[in-house]
Amino acid sequence: MSAIDALRAAPGSETILGIPRSHWEKQLSNYDWSTRPNTATVVWEFIRKAQQREAPHLLLCGNVGTGKTHIGVGLFRWAAMLEGTMRSAFINMPEFYKLVKSNYGTGHDPIDDIRSADFLVVMDDPFAGNKLHPGDFDILFSCIDIVYQNRAAMVWTMNDDLEYLRSTLQDHEYDRVMANSQVCEFTGPSWRIT
């Protein structure tokens, strides 16, 4: 049995990976790529560049419930199995904003916990569904700074389109996010509605 298979089979492995319970079943292997063949090509190219340490960025944006987070979780699982959880991070940004703020003045900065993530950082919903609160933007760009300092690959999953991103960020911020980025826009109805 390979080390990857052993980790997958281990009791509590999902807890080790730090993936929220709602995402435990999401993997690249069980994503329905037939619905998005162009996205599959982009994701495999992203993986190739990440393995070659080219620090690629991938923005998955568009409609709610169309599989963006599924791919983000799948990429994190791939990275964690390849390089370990210390070198990769999956961050649910709305929850992370709250965590960082609740630790103000305690001597512990949760942002420090991702400083070892020098391979891949996945930021899920960085704009918190268009509900950013005071201080959230500073936390987001602190995380982006770490990604750049570490020359890590970065994935964003967001329910907003590029026009929203362009209108929300200042020019220099937009340039930092878009540098070395591939964008996949997700359209169509939500997969959550049956």
pLDDT digits (tens, 9 = 90+) for 150-173: 999 999 999 877 888 888 888 888
For residue 12, the model assigns a pLDDT of: 42
pLDDT of residue 14 exceeding 80, the answer is no
pLDDT digits (tens, 9 = 90+) for 54-92: 999 999 998 887 888 889 999 998 898 888 888 999 999
Length of the chain: 194
pTM attached to this predicted model: 0.83
* Average pLDDT score over the chain: 83
How large is the average pLDDT for residues 102-113? 89
For residue 82, the model assigns a pLDDT of: 86
Residue of 157, 154, 178 whose CA lies nearest to 60: 157
CA distance 56 to 152: 8
Q: What residues pair up with 92 in beta bridges, in sequence order?
A: 124
The 10 Å CB-count burial string (b at 16+, else e) for 90-122 is bbbbbebbbbbeeeeeeeeebbeebeebbbbbb
Query: E strand or H helix at 181, and its extent?
Result: strand 181-186
- Tell which wins on pLDDT, 124 or 36: 124
Query: E strand or H helix at 47, and its extent?
Result: helix 37-51
pLDDT of residue 38 exceeding 70, the answer is yes
pLDDT of residue 109 exceeding 70, the answer is yes
